[in-house]
């Protein structure tokens, strides 16, 4: 049920007592918040006034068919003769009657899930946190303002998941939506929070200017009331809602059934040459046929041109200047990138490439075109630490846009790339203190300029993957991107690196990548300094978590055991299904699951192979442990035949379920027949 009054709106389910959302609306004009007073009220809409009665706010509540859900839409209009500047629009607890109530529970029982609970990137810091499921803090927090493409939704629930509420973005064309909340610290029949508001920001914009007679449509709010819903299932309805409204790449990406090779990790790193890569490519073509794309990573250009004419060993966007076709390091790639790609095509491999829109400041590009670069609120050029100091181009400047288009067209049309791994890109669209030179352009709008360029020149079935800053699964990127990097680099695949690259995967597990886009856990490979248990741990983790199948390292030099393992791993490429985590400790503590499983629907490649399910068990500890789950938690019966995925050996169970004693750092991948 819902209602609209003069002070705001309500969404509630009185019969089930699932929740209550009763919120007002206020708008920042010139640095001062003005409450919206609604009139002309109907059952599903209202027109309000604010800012001394000069501005109008229209609100619409639209019921989502088939769900206890609504979308809330806003339009801000300026019918006056004044030019006004909007700073932010907020929906929240502002009046005495406002509140957000998650069932009839104590505020001590309230919990919430947001990807910021595990990670916040705000340059220059990447902050790791836990657990994913948290109690609201005593001090106010502001969620969703990081530079890591945060998931644009929050799940409010209680300790036992009896009642819940999802609040999320309907779209992301103009605004970033963030959430401010604080624990109440007392009992109340009206609200579970001392402070709660949903903020519509105009990021990287000096306020959104409304000229006389103009209007702007905000990106709306999705609200869904839930009952008995675990966090891993909470966003299923929301993602289905988005999938119905958007043409997401996950529904058609080749990464659902094809593996790819990336030339960075497990020993090669910046030592990128045609000579040391062709033997790997030849081995792949002969021995691992389901690796279909070979992606050349960072290290193919001559680097940035310093003021003294020498070169920095960095391969960013400025290294293509002034002529993208002549930027290649011919000592490393004598036939150029296009010649190397032609060799890959002769082997039957599709060529892909690493590229970053980041630019070195000490470069010819910056010296000749400082006006192309993004600036902060003080008018100073953005300079990021590392690589001698870097920045980003302002794509709202015509010259910067034209140069970027020239580079991207060269990569795809001249060199023939069919896949792109775009690295170090997100700060230019998410750092709140930056400002574009063109008025009324926000972060999502500028991001679309870049993403549209990539898709304009990339083949229709080309693969577009976003990389650092490591992403937390913003589904609105899936209109263009096939996959997003969900981890830091795996590097050489040490045990410590394995743990670090697994820490942020949990929120993505319950989302079907084939519905939006796939997460990427970086490469699987072999670290010669690790034992067989640790190397197979990495293989089993990346297999079960249902992200992309990316392979790395000097594959032709591997022992036969791992050559065979990579062949089997990639032969079973059926990606983007939901991965379930019955290990409650991972949700409420350190987010490293000990038990995961995947169900394969009828008609899927795995089901056609006679496989109904995979189960994986992990011992992250330094001591032997019994790891497992009861039958009901895994969705199997006592008589279900279970086999080791790698060896085919029968796995023994007991009367309670699947429980196996694992050595330190050991894992087990189990296959279940149909």
CB 594 within 8 A of CB 626: no
Render pLDDT for 91-101 as a digit per residue (tens, 0 to 9). Answer: 999 988 888 88
Render pLDDT for 318-372 as a digit per residue (tens, 0 to 9). Answer: 999 999 988 999 999 999 999 999 999 999 999 999 999 999 999 999 999 999 9
Q: Exposed, middle or buried by CB within 10 Å (0-12, 13-18, 19+), for 191?
A: buried
What CATH number has the domain spanning 2-245?
A: 2.70.98
- Residues with Cβ within 8 Å of 280's Cβ and at least 6 positions away in sequence, in order, are 261, 263, 554, 555, 556
CB 392 within 8 A of CB 430: no
Comparing 18-27, 520-529, 577-586, 610-619, which segment has the lowest mean pLDDT?
Answer: 18-27
Q: Of 328, 394, 393, 322, which is closest to residue 359 (Cα–Cα)?
A: 393
Phi, psi of 623 (to 5 degrees): -140, 155
Q: CB atoms < 10 A from the CB of 638, how many?
A: 10
Render pLDDT for 238-263 as a digit per residue (tens, 0 to 9). Answer: 999 999 999 999 999 999 999 999 99
CATH entry 3.30.70.20 includes domain 249-593: no
Dihedral sign for Cα atoms in the order 433, 59, 93, 83: positive
∠ CA 105-109-111, nearest 5°, is: 115
78 pLDDT above the threshold of 90: yes
- Residues with Cβ within 8 Å of 408's Cβ and at least 6 positions away in sequence, in order, are 355, 453, 454, 456, 457
The pTM assigned to this predicted structure is 0.95
CB 5 within 8 A of CB 96: no
State the pLDDT at residue 232: 96
Phi, psi of 644 (to 5 degrees): -65, 125
Would you kindly state where each structural domain of the chain is located, as residue ranges? 2-245, 249-593, 605-673
State the pLDDT at residue 248: 98
Number of helices (H), then strands (E), belonging to the chain: the values are 15, 43
Q: C-alpha distances in angstroms, 226 versus 109, 157, 233, 475, 645?
A: 16, 9, 10, 21, 37
Cα 226 from Cα 232, distance rounded (Å): 13
CATH of 605-673, one of 2.60.40.1180, 3.20.20.80, 3.40.1030.10, 3.30.830.10: 2.60.40.1180
Render pLDDT for 390-448 as a digit per residue (tens, 0 to 9). Answer: 999 999 999 999 999 999 999 999 999 999 999 999 999 999 999 999 999 999 999 99
Alpha-helical runs (H) found in 273-335: 274-287
State the pLDDT at residue 14: 58
């Amino acid at each position: 049920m819902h209602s609209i009054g003069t002070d705001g709106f309500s969404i509630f389910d009185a019969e089930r007592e699932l929740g209550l959302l009763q919120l007002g609306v206020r708008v920042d004009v010139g640095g001062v918040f003005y409450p919206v007073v609604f009139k002309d009220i109907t059952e599903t809409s209202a027109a309000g006034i604010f800012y001394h009665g000069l501005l109008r706010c229209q609100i619409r509540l639209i019921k989502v068919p088939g769900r206890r859900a609504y979308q809330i839409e806003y339009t801000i209009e300026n019918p006056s003769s004044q030019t006004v500047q909007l700073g932010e629009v907020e929906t929240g607890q502002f009046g005495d009657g406002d509140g957000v109530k998650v069932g009839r529970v104590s505020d001590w029982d309230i919990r919430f899930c947001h990807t910021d609970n595990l990670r916040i990137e705000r340059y220059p810091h990447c902050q790791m946190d836990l657990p994913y499921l948290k109690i609201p803090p005593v001090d106010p927090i502001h969620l969703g303002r990081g530079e890591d493409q945060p998931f644009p939704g929050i799940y409010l629930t209680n300790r036992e998941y009896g009642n819940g509420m999802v609040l999320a973005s309907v779209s992301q064309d103009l605004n970033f939506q963030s959430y401010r909340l604080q624990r109440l610290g007392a009992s109340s029949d009206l609200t579970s929070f001392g402070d709660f508001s949903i903020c519509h920001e105009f990021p990287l914009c000096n306020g959104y200017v409304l000229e006389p007679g103009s209007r702007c449509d905000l990106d709306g709010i999705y609200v869904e009331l839930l009952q008995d819903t675990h966090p891993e299932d909470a966003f299923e309805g929301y993602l289905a809602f988005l999938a119905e409204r958007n043409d997401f790449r996950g529904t058609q990406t080749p990464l659902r059934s094809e593996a790819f090779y990336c030339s960075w990790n497990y020993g090669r790193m910046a030592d990128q040459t045609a000579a040391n890569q062709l033997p790997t490519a030849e081995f792949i073509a002969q021995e691992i046929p389901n690796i279909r794309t070979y992606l050349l990573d960072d290290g193919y250009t001559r680097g940035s041109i310093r003021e003294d004419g020498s070169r920095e060993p960095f391969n960013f966007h400025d290294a293509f200047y002034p002529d993208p076709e002549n930027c290649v390091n011919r000592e490393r790639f004598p036939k150029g990138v296009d010649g190397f790609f032609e060799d890959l095509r002769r082997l039957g491999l599709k060529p892909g490439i690493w590229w970053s829109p980041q630019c070195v400041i000490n470069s010819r590009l910056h010296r000749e075109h400082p006006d192309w670069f993004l600036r902060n609120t003080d008018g100073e050029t953005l300079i990021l630490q590392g690589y001698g100091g870097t920045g980003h181009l302002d794509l709202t400047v015509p010259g910067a846009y034209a140069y970027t288009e020239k580079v991207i067209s060269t990569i795809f049309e001249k060199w023939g790339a069919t896949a792109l791994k775009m690295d170090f890109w997100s700060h230019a669209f998410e750092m709140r203190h930056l400002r574009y030179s063109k008025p009324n352009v926000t972060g999502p709008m500028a991001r679309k300029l870049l993403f549209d360029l990539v898709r304009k020149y990339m083949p229709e079935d080309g693969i577009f993957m976003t990389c650092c800053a490591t992403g937390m699964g913003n589904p609105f990127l899936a209109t263009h991107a096939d996959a997003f990097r969900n981890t830091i680099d795996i590097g050489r695949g040490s045990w410590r690196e394995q743990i670090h690259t697994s820490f942020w995967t949990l929120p993505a597990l319950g989302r079907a990548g084939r519905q939006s886009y796939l997460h990427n856990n970086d490469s699987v490979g072999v670290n010669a300094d690790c034992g067989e248990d640790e190397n197979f741990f990495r293989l089993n983790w990346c297999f079960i978590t249902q992200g992309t199948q990316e392979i790395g390292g000097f594959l032709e030099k591997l022992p036969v055991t791992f050559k065979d393992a990579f062949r089997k791993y990639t032969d079973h490429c059926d990606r983007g299904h939901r991965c379930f985590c019955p290990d409650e400790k991972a949700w409420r503590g350190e987010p490293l699951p000990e038990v995961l499983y995947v169900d394969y629907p009828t008609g899927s490649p795995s089901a056609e192979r006679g496989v109904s399910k995979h189960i994986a068990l992990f011992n992250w500890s330094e001591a032997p442990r019994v790891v497992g789950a009861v039958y009901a938690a895994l969705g199997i019966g006592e008589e279900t035949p279970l086999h080791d995925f790698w060896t085919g050996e029968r796995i023994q169970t007991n009367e309670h379920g699947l429980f196996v004693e694992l050595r330190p750092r050991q894992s087990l991948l189990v296959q279940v027949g149909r």
